[in-house]
Structure 1
Amino acid sequence: MYFWISKSTELRTVIQKEINDNNRLKNQLLHWAQQFREVVFLDSNQYQQRYTSYDCILAVDAFTAIKTDYANAFEDVKQYQQQTKDWLFGYLSYDLKNDIEDLHSNNFDGLDFPDLFFFQPKKLFLLKGNTFEIQYLRLCDDEIESDFTAITNYPQLITNNNVTLSVVEGQQSKIQQRISKESYLAKVTEMLSHIHRGDIYEANFCMEFYTENAHLEPVEIYQKLNAISRPPFATYFKNNHQFLLCASPERYLRKEGNKVISQPIKGTAKRHSDKVSDEQSKTELAQNPKERSENVMIVDLVRNDLSHTATKGSVIVEELCEIYSFEQVHQMISTIVSTVEDATSPIEILKTTFPMGSMTGAPKISAMKIIEDLEATKRGLYSGAIGYFTPDNDFDFNVVIRSILYNAENEYLSFSVGSAITSQAVPEQEYEECLLKAKAMFEVLS
């Protein structure tokens, strides 16, 4: 049974309904959304977390949009956000660093995504518990009832577990490694020499896996990836022929009212089916001096970043090196919060903390320069952030990791993984950590 509550905002007609089967509805929403050029689907997978607004969000069909390269990008999106005063969904790519500092991105880019993309959706769906809220712009609110009927009558599609990544000839496409193991070990050794010279204390070093002539069903691959990981910041993104299939466990930055929350991840351990071994793995991660050192260094960096917009004395570490468990890995996560003034622009908060410390290093600018020299691929959307702004100037963005990126137009598919390099790093162990993080992507593509 569905209960209707109708109200209106200045821009949107809002209707609330009571629903019974959340998982069925989420599946129906995702498949129904594929008719639109622009899609953002966010799923928390009912992961228990302190800071959250919705279990699932779907935004489709751009009324307005902004797409740009890094030059003046933050100012452009600031003006766009102030003019629309509405919900906006989209992403900030890692290479927006070039708008903030005198940096460059000259490495190979097979994906060719814009550096920044946001859109104002005509149609928006918000799910929290059994409450399903529909928000349509007034110009199309006469479609609410017909769309709701179409969604709830959509077949309960079952993900095809036999989907494979294939080339035009019908054979499985081989996933290639952009940097060989030998080259990876040499590059990490070179990064260690930078650390020992005092150029940096820590840096996140990443490598790409890719395939060309790729053909796949993005929804099915996303659902398989999400089912393996069930993370709190899962995202399906579509912009015409560009796709992000994301199973991220990490929040970059959230603003709710005057409070800003950052939750960097540093520290990873494998999960085990045996309970005793799994608990031992968790305990060893919590007590590992290298992993704690990595995490604490990034916490200090985040504290400094948040201080640029925080009111005096308001930056606080709520959690330090807490262990969170996910389907495949245990992660060490810290929570840092601050308070901002009412007049502080959401874009200013993002600009002064971007890119996130967990994906760069410390000191941040030196680390980003060394990363650019040693990595072989332009990061683009990988290690950037995807999320949304609300009409009330709040926002929530994840960190784009554990993700598959796909350009259907040029048939290029890519996923990258990385780890934090500190003075205690052992190149072979860092390589193994990267393979552990890549496991889910390999599993759904092979």
Structure 2
Amino acid sequence: MTEALITRLNNQDADFTAKLDALLAWDSVSDHKVAEAVADILHQVKERGDAAVIEFTNRFDRRNVVDFSELVVAPEALQQALQAIDPAQREALEEAARRVRAYHEHQRQESWRYTEADGTVLGQKITPMERVGLYVPGGKASYPSSVLMNAIPAKVAGVDELTMVVPAPDGELNQTVLAAAAIAGVDRVITIGGAQAVAALAYGTQTIARVDKIVGPGNIFVATAKRAVFGQVAIDMIAGPSEILVLCDGQTDPDWIAMDLFSQAEHDEQAQSILISPDGEFLNKVEQAMERLLPTMSREPIIRQSLANRGALIKVANMDEAVALSNRIAPEHLEVSVEDPEALLPSIRHAGAIFMGRHTPEALGDYCAGPNHVLPTSGTARFSSPLGVYDFQKRSSIIFASAQGASDLAHTAATLARSEDLEAHALSADYRKH
């Protein structure tokens, strides 16, 4: 008897909760040996700056760098890459960038203020961050789309200087990644990676200015380093494996749904693909479609392992139960593949991105729909949001009291201050009375 391609679950079964919890369980950064290695790298870079970065880069990326300037990509090299890539790729990158920029323009927040009757002015000043570091994976995991999704919101926000770090194993650089950096308006590209790149951005070196925030995906060493420097700098998130959850009424083409599930499973063996439907026969058809289509996939071994590890087809009684289960899972990507997705939307509480209707595969969002593809994973959509312009802006409160306003507020402030035994606070307010 052959092993099943994917787990089948039914939310009416007595052991469903335990099985679902086991399926969803994920700890993104837990390896003690990795943590120790990262701590040493962070310490070395903090203490020795450029010299330590060069040493680690030579060791881990098989480079022979002598001077730090060899790690910096010349600005003209970005433009040369843009000219050199396949014209169809360039056109696709530029169209995706245009759509991503247009969407994120809507997110930009502006400063605001209002004036009270006594002349006191209250408000909020919105200011972009000065410096941001963007981590981009190198080698096999080179994603030009990730450059666009991380860099464009930062530039729309008005970030002064965006530094991209990308490892170049054996000195090899992905030209499409450099072209994407040119299109997105990245200010500086440095060919370093790993925990040493995170450390350089977080602490600064003789050559690299310390940044205010580090964004972008990376391996377990990068994720561990980002977690360790959080507080010294801001970070976007500690991302787990990619996820897709599809809610379907049973009326979408089973081949479409099978391929949508594959689209996340092909990322890596720990990615998660789940389909929930009240139609048991439809689940059977999707499983059959998966078995038929899987041998045609170039990344078949990865998809097969991902589905076996963390995939599931889940039977529920109705679509209301499907939505309730979706809210419990809080997926990164949620496809609502039903006839009237708008009817279900008000009930959906937790999801990174919601793809509505039968003609909206998650893949469109990964590349060119416009919304950001940097999304909360591992259930963190319960309290987190997609990366956006607001992640690169800071808010400062504005308080400009008039003489009358200060006098009126002094009594309240002084009373509260004295209730906390802070007499200087009280007197500071009292002095403004008239």
Does the TM-score normalized on the shorter chain lie above 0.5? no
Q: Which has the higher strand share?
A: 1
Normalising by structure 2, we get a TM-score of 0.24
